[in-house]
A = this chain, B = another copy of it.
Amino acid sequence: MVRFIKKYQEKVGLPPGTLVHVGHERSDEPEISVLVYNEQTLEERKVKTGDLDSCFPIGDSTDVVWINIDGVHRTDVIEFVGKKLAVHPLVLADIVNTRQRPKVEDHENLLFIVLKMIYYSETASETISEQVSMIVGRNFVISFQERKEDLFDPVRKRIRTSSGRIRKMGSDYLAYALMDTIVDNYFVILERIGENIEEIEDELLQNPTQDTLQSIHHQKREMITLRRSVWPLREVIGTLERADIKLLQDLNRIYFRDIYDHTIQVIDTIETSRDMLSGMLEIYLSSVSNRMNTVMKVLTIIATIFMPLTFIAGVYGMNFANMPELEWNYGYPLVLLVMAGIGFTMLIYFKHRKWI
């Protein structure tokens, strides 16, 4: 979380709009894929960063153009795209500084959207939070991803197979489809966390250890990350649904309402999980107290039984010349009997107090 603001120091004092890449470090070439489609035709190709020029200008035809750029570390590429589309330098700065909060900006003829995509990367075997930015125009969407993960593949497949209505709709529907994919991934992550929570819960009931506590806190922290991404997302999509944005067609508004509902559902599940984790923490802490109690009881029972007995043995171990009991014939068995009596009394007492 806190690492989010790392490397910021070097930005201090630079003029606004200076492109400084902050985030996941990479040195390879960004991958650029271009899809041009309408209801009838579909054209798909990969473009090298050097040939990016070939994509512009984006014509005025009824085709929808989707350019996906996998990597924002090459600030020159971003700058080139920015110049071609004539977007404000601050927008470009937001694209390369991947520590943004989800937000939407309406620049009249362009819509600028920043989102966080959270997913479990099998390759890195960890949960990754990646910034996805989109510039949405009348007939194009340009999306920027930090990493080369094929999370938008289902959308691509739907375009290719022409399943659903995606080929019939405009660029706003494409933007919606991408955002929908992102929100759907939140559910997948929540499902993972949900499973973890159930595991921890079982552990908690059977054998809670310090590790259980660590796991609870680990999940809590994942929740914090998720919350950080989803709460602003809600605002973003709420704005898209309600605000009077020229680029969004009224008949597509219902789709944004749908994502909005999903976002609320994600938030709901997050808050519920947080409540559950807090409850689990309370159970953990009280189980620690309870175990302490058990330990103390064992100690007290042992001490309370054997201390008086040892004392009696000590008394008859004294070397006084004149100790008549020692000479008695039945002194020894009598003392043993007395000791057994004391021991039993103690046990009954503890039984009575429900300590054993």
Contact = CB atoms under 8 A, between A and B. Distances in A.
A89 to B, nearest CB: 9
Interface string A298-328: 1110111011111101111111111101111
Interface string A275-297: 11001011111111111110111
Contacts of A177: 15-16
Nearest to A319: B326
Contacts of A254: 88, 90
Nearest to A11: B184
A233 B6 CA distance: 22
14 contacts: A6-B191, A6-B194, A15-B158, A16-B164, A101-B268, A213-B283, A224-B272, A228-B272, A293-B295, A302-B304, A306-B308, A320-B328, A320-B335, A321-B326
Given A299-B304, A303-B299, A157 B13 contact: yes
A5 interface: yes
Nearest to A284: B286
Nearest to A313: B314
Interface of A: 1-6, 8-9, 11-18, 88, 90, 94, 99-101, 103, 105, 153-155, 157-158, 163-166, 176-177, 180-181, 184-185, 187-188, 190-191, 193-195, 197-198, 207, 210, 213-214, 217, 220-221, 224, 228, 254-255, 257-258, 261, 264-265, 268-269, 272-273, 275-276, 279, 281-293, 295-300, 302-304, 306-311, 313-323, 325-332, 335-336, 339, 354-355
Contacts of A309: 311, 314
B163 A15 contact: yes
Contact of A12 (B18, B181, B269): B181
A254 B107 CA distance: 10
Given A12-B154, A286-B285, A321 B327 contact: yes
B273 A1 contact: yes
A257 B285 CA distance: 44
A236 to B, nearest CB: 12
A311 B282 CA distance: 41
For the complex of A and B, the 3 pairs showing the least CB-CB separation, nearest first, are A13-B154, A15-B164, A2-B194
Nearest to A164: B15
